[in-house]
A and B are shown apart, each in its own frame.
Chain A
Amino acid sequence: MASLKDVKSKIGGVKKTKQITKAMNMVASAKLRGAQTRIERFRPYAEKFYGMLTDLAGKTDETAHPLLAARDDVKKTGIIIATSDRGLCGSFNVNIINAALKLAATKKAEGKQVAFYCVGKKARDAVSKTGYELPMQLTGQMNQFDFTLANKVGLQVIDHFLSADLDEVFLIYGQFVSLARQTPTTLQLLPIAPAESIEEKTGVTKEYIYEPEVNGLLAELLPRFIKVQIYRGLLDTSASEHAARMAAMDNATRSCDDMTAALTLLFNKTRQAAITRDLMDIVGGAEALNG
């Protein structure tokens, strides 16, 4: 049986851990709020953007731009994977990485090559162990990023796609569904799927003057569309990360409480046992004297 002193120091340790997890929970919730406001601020831009694109996409077909054209012979698949830089957020990163590796495995089984573009340290660490090609890795940036990060990734994959180095590109990120739910989501970035860009447009379509003409405008719009989608994925991942960490730390804090309760019980029992033993000794001694 553990000695009184052992139990006491263990209780102290658990209490200290609880302080840390509680603090991390609060930090994560503050950061989550930040991430959510950024999503909010991005929304008007994204909505306008989608509006313009759907409007234009209806006026053209898939031969209009190389980024729209699906390739018959897909030799190489690019996967952009976005995770957090830090752990301690439950199964959040693992879920995304598993989804990505599964996709990579199916592509490989179809005889395609796979290249990973990693954003986030956790993704890099996991992918570098598997031996897949790793043409781009951005770590230590998820904590604070702006559109330039999406720009960087976007330019790179568009370059590779246009030089026929890549034939299709997927984006895997942690979609922020709610505080309690973050699901890894796979999105086809390139070639841009027409089904996604031509959504039902409500309201009256206006006749615009275009400058340059529709195809020229599309050439400007499409690369930006890729970046907008990447940015959206990154923002979602960052919000999800903080939400996941909040949940994980909340759990940890609760476990700490449970453990403290169990240990305190153990402590009291041990103390009680020691007292009883001492009493027995005294009583035994007294009886021997009387005897």
Chain B
Amino acid sequence: MSIEEIQNEIIDEFSMFEDWEERYQYMIDLGKDLPLIDDQYKTDNNIIKGCQSKVWVHAELKDDKIEFTADSDAIITKGIIAILIRVFSNQSPKDIIDANMDFIDEIGLKEHLSPTRANGLVSMIKQLKMYAIAYQTQLK
């Protein structure tokens, strides 16, 4: 599936929820289901700065596509990174770099997009795209 198709799928899922509580419960569940990052990658180097909770991200290039794994010590943050990874993982660096992130707004998480927000969603997106830029250079 393309990034846009995955984003539309997520928008569909979130449209079923009536209030914040259902949305958050779903994110919490996504966080619980997130495939855990291998412990060897939970290093200080892989921590995303700008989050009140700890977020680790590891990226690997496989068949010209990037595979992301991540973890966080806070479950809501884990849910947010799980959504991002679902969108970005197994995509080409170019598609990740070009991806439009408006879907965050559509699934009712706009409040998390403020750069000063302590959960660092903006930092997470930036970091994932940075990996894509780095691998893109490698591919050229």
> Are A and B a genuine interacting pair, yes or no?
no
